Amino acid sequence: MPTLDRKPILLDFEKPLAELESRIGQIRELAEENDVDVTEQIRHLEAKAVQLRQEIFSSLSAAQRLQVARHPRRPSTFDYIQAISDEWMELHGDRGGYDDPAVVGGVARLDGRPVMMLGQQKGRDTKDNITRNFGMASPSGYRKAMRLMEHANRFSMPILTFIDTPGAYAGLSAEELGQGEAIAYNLREMFRLDVPIICTVIGEGGSGGALGIGVGDRLMMFEHSVYTVATPEACAAILWRDMSKAHQAAEALKITAADLKGLGILDELLTEPIGGAHSDPLKAAEILKKALLRNLSELDQMTGQQRRELRYQKFRSIGVFAEVTA
Amino acid sequence: MSLFDWFANRQKSGSTTPQGQEREIADGLWTKCEACGALTYTKDLRSNQMVCLECDHHIRIFSDERISQMIDADTWVAIDEGLQPVDPLNFRARKAYIDYIRDTQEKTKLADAVQTGLGQIEGHPIALGVMDFRFMGGSMGSVVGEKLTRLIERATQQRLPVVIVCASGGARMQEGMLSLMQMAKISGALQRHQENRLLYIPVLTHPTTGGVTASFAMLGDIILAEPKAMIAFAGRRVVEQTLREKLPDDFQTSEYLLQHGLVDAIVSRTQLKKTLAQLIRLHQPVSSTSHVVPRSSIKALTKIAPD
């Protein structure tokens, strides 16, 4: 988990809250110095802070949620894997000459049972981010993911994927190695696998790059995660011809967990600790683990064939159109 | 509306796109090639399937013309023509999506960016989908996803090969995540088609990009491309921005993809129908007796066999 003693990184809408909290600190200090009892006042202010935090985080706009989803301290795939598994071992490589650090995964034990866990991994600091290419996977990342999923299918391990990427990497080498093909292949082959597949958007679900490990029996999203067809920035540049309209694009694109639940795309919304997953990563991990276990126990009741049918029908039913008969 | 009517209307009302305006000179009798500038008698150009006689440039064509080039006369049966786009997100950018749909339908006489149907290629029945770049850049929303999925499902049921002519800017942003999920939906249908050992051949034409490239365009058992088509996951400008360096001139062309092992063959439009028919024949099971025919009688057999 991210170390908690580091200085918090504040998002602009958290500022009133931070001010209130620093005022509480000041009062406490002053009271101690002057030996005055302010327990009652402090309790009152703290209750107010909790309320304020709740208010702020329950009414975030899409653009603000995007900020939370991209928060540098937001728990990553590694963080969740380490927090929820009894034991785990990372596995490497696509067996085609590459090991993409933007996609991580391995065999793990979840509540006593072997599972395959994998996902995109953003860096924890600038240096790590450069190594991991900000969580933007290359074609070899998608091929590595597929290799791990094939392995899981062979050994009857459920597959748990964690989605957290701004998008698939758009670079010369990625194009040459077939970024489109790598993602497409995963989309098709994930429909073939017999084992349960649960996909969870833990942060940013960036377009095809997210979907490349996102075909499952269940799609879950953390409350402040987003899932987008194109980044609001790109959408603003194309449809508004104005990058500064990104916040409008974020609203219009319907990218929040609540929106996607309404569109029939999302199966389960995971409520985050107040203040976002980064404010209490262990609590967030606990919420995730519970939801994973509950869904797994449901999917365990089915045969491989039934799960494949469920997966097929789940995606088959997505889309809104009118049909007029001639 | 028949293809003939479409052209008749087009000539009467003049061209509808700026590109088309350039193309049609002197009432459409002559056409100027946008690549080499050569003026060609439109009738000759059309009989060469809109491939420039001087420089072999493949002038952009649309779904009606493509279908008539590829499918045997009087064998085309369009399906799911009644599917219409709606505006599920109530999306408005500079223009409301719903108005954009209506205007585009009015202009193109198309319901959305793909036509699907069943027909024959040199007598071989196939399921064919043809994307149309005129309709919002061939972008893929719910209708494109649903029509292609139904086409593939029907082909699986009737054990037909699928051919999809791709031309698309990618997922349609105005339908948000519903568009992105069509990539998975179509890929799922292709998985079942493939599992039934049926042949799927996408034909990549200019341009094929984004979510279409990252799904059905790249899932062919065999992938064909038209010469000099732009085929990409991320567009050239995006890649240039990421890298801040100049890219090779032929980056993301069909030829470049062939060189990098991503497509099987580049096929001239004039050879496309023939090539598809040949590939379909090559994937048909041989009658079981042919395996045990003694060598000496092969000559005699080929004499009586059709073709």
Mean pLDDT estimate for chain A: 94
What pLDDT sits at residue A179?
97
Nearest Cα neighbor of B223 from B253, B246, B254, B195 is: B254
Point out the domain boundary residue: A59, A77, A95: A59
Query: Cα–Cα–Cα angle for A305, B180, A233, nearest 5°?
Result: 150
Partner-chain contact B219 A228, CB within 8 Å: no
What pLDDT sits at residue B288?
57
Alpha-carbon distance A217 to B5, whole Å?
48
Higher-scoring residue by pLDDT: A125, B129: B129
What pLDDT sits at residue A204?
97
- Whether the per-residue pLDDT at B177 is higher than 80: the answer is yes
Q: Is residue A178 part of a domain?
A: yes
Q: Is residue A7 part of a domain?
A: no
For residue B149, give how far its alpha carbon lies from the nearest alpha carbon of chain A (Å): 8
Q: Is residue A49 part of a domain?
A: yes
Close Cβ partners of A290 (under 8 Å, ≥ 6 residues apart): none
Partner-chain contact A319 B192, CB within 8 Å: no
Q: Is residue A323 part of a domain?
A: no
Do A166 and A201 reside in the same domain of the chain?
yes
Judged by phi (left if over 0) then psi (alpha if -120 to 50, else beta), residue B234 lies in: beta
pLDDT tens figures, A262-299:
999 999 999 999 999 999 999 999 999 999 999 999 99
Do A55 and A71 reside in the same domain of the chain?
no
One-letter amino acid of A227: Y
Do A48 and A162 reside in the same domain of the chain?
no
Q: How many domains does chain A have?
A: 2
CA distances from residue B238 to B60, B210, B247 in whole angstroms, order as listed: 24, 11, 11
Comparing CB atoms, the residue among B214, B216, B239 nearest residue A172 is B239
Tell me the chain B residues in contact with residue A263 when contact means C-beta distances shorter than 8 Å. 88, 176-178
Burial category of B72 from C-beta neighbours within 10 Å (exposed 0-12, middle 13-18, buried 19 and up): middle
From A36-45, B44-53, B182-191, B281-290, the region with the lowest mean pLDDT: B281-290
Which residues are registered as beta bridge partners of B165? Answer: B130, B203
Cis check for the bond before A72: say yes or no (omega within 30 of 0). Answer: no
CA distances from residue A173 to A131, A139, B208, B256 in whole angstroms, order as listed: 16, 9, 19, 13
Domain range for residue A235? Answer: 66-316
Alpha-carbon distance A144 to A159, whole Å?
14
Tell me the chain A residues in contact with residue B178 when contact means C-beta distances shorter than 8 Å. 263, 265, 318-320
One-letter amino acid of B29: L
In the numeric block, the tokens 């104005």 are attached to A242
Partner-chain contact A184 B215, CB within 8 Å: yes
What pLDDT sits at residue B22?
52
Do A29 and A74 reside in the same domain of the chain?
no
Q: What is the CATH number of the domain that holds A238?
A: 3.90.226.10
pLDDT tens figures, A60-110:
999 999 999 999 999 999 999 999 999 999 999 999 999 999 999 999 999
Q: Is residue A82 part of a domain?
A: yes
Alpha-carbon distance A255 to A230, whole Å?
10
What pLDDT sits at residue B236?
86
Do A124 and A34 reside in the same domain of the chain?
no
Confidence class for position A28, pLDDT limits 50, 70, 90: confident
Do A131 and A100 reside in the same domain of the chain?
yes
B181: its two tokens: 């999920």
Close Cβ partners of A296 (under 8 Å, ≥ 6 residues apart): A110, A158, A196, A198
Q: Is residue A326 part of a domain?
A: no
Alpha-carbon distance A111 to A115, whole Å?
10
Q: Is residue A324 part of a domain?
A: no
Which 8-state DSSP code applies to residue A69? Answer: H
For residue A248, give how far its alpha carbon lies from the nearest alpha carbon of chain B (Å): 9
Q: Determine contact: A208 vs chain B, CB below 8 A.
A: yes
Q: Could you tell me the strand order of the sheet in which B114-121 lies?
A: B77-78, B114-121, B124-131, B162-168, B200-208, B224-225, B265-266
Q: Determine contact: A315 vs chain B, CB below 8 A.
A: yes
A92: its two tokens: 């490497």
Rounded to whole angstroms, the maximal C-alpha distance in chain A is: 85
Do A75 and A131 reside in the same domain of the chain?
yes
Do A244 and A273 reside in the same domain of the chain?
yes
Burial category of B10 from C-beta neighbours within 10 Å (exposed 0-12, middle 13-18, buried 19 and up): middle
- Whether the per-residue pLDDT at B7 is higher than 70: the answer is no
- Whether the per-residue pLDDT at B242 is higher than 80: the answer is no
pLDDT tens figures, A165-190:
999 999 999 999 999 999 999 999 99
End-to-end CA distance of chain A: 59
ipTM passes above 0.90:
yes
Higher-scoring residue by pLDDT: B243, A260: A260
| Average pLDDT rounded to a whole number, residues B82-96 | 95
From A68-72, A107-111, B14-18, B153-157, the region with the lowest mean pLDDT: B14-18
Do A18 and A128 reside in the same domain of the chain?
no
Higher-scoring residue by pLDDT: A194, A4: A194
Do A51 and A160 reside in the same domain of the chain?
no
Percent of chain A with pLDDT over 70: 98
Find out whether B80 and B69 touch, Cβ atoms under 8 Å. Answer: no
- Domain(s) labelled CATH 3.90.226.10 in chain B stretch across 62-283
Find out whether A212 and A180 touch, Cβ atoms under 8 Å. Answer: no
Question: Chains A, B: CB contacts under 8 A, how many?
Answer: 189
Do A38 and A136 reside in the same domain of the chain?
no
Do A147 and A117 reside in the same domain of the chain?
yes
| Average pLDDT rounded to a whole number, residues B254-274 | 97
From B73-82, B191-200, B295-304, the region with the lowest mean pLDDT: B295-304
Mean pLDDT estimate for chain B: 89
Partner-chain contact A188 B211, CB within 8 Å: no
CA distances from residue B194 to A64, A191, A208, B157 in whole angstroms, order as listed: 43, 12, 22, 12
| Average pLDDT rounded to a whole number, residues B5-12 | 50
What pLDDT sits at residue A32?
86
Q: Is residue A103 part of a domain?
A: yes
Partner-chain contact B233 A179, CB within 8 Å: yes
| Average pLDDT rounded to a whole number, residues A288-311 | 98
Q: Enumerate long-range contacts of A242-250, CB under 8 Å, 24 or more apart.
A: A246/A63, A247/A61, A247/A62, A247/A63, A249/B93, A250/A61, A250/A62, A250/A63, A250/A66, A250/A226
Burial category of A7 from C-beta neighbours within 10 Å (exposed 0-12, middle 13-18, buried 19 and up): exposed
Under CATH, to which class is B62-283 assigned? alpha beta
Higher-scoring residue by pLDDT: A22, B121: B121
pTM: 0.90
Comparing CB atoms, the residue among A168, A254, A326 nearest residue B176 is A254
- Whether the per-residue pLDDT at B3 is higher than 70: the answer is no
Residue of B nearest to A248 (CA): B93
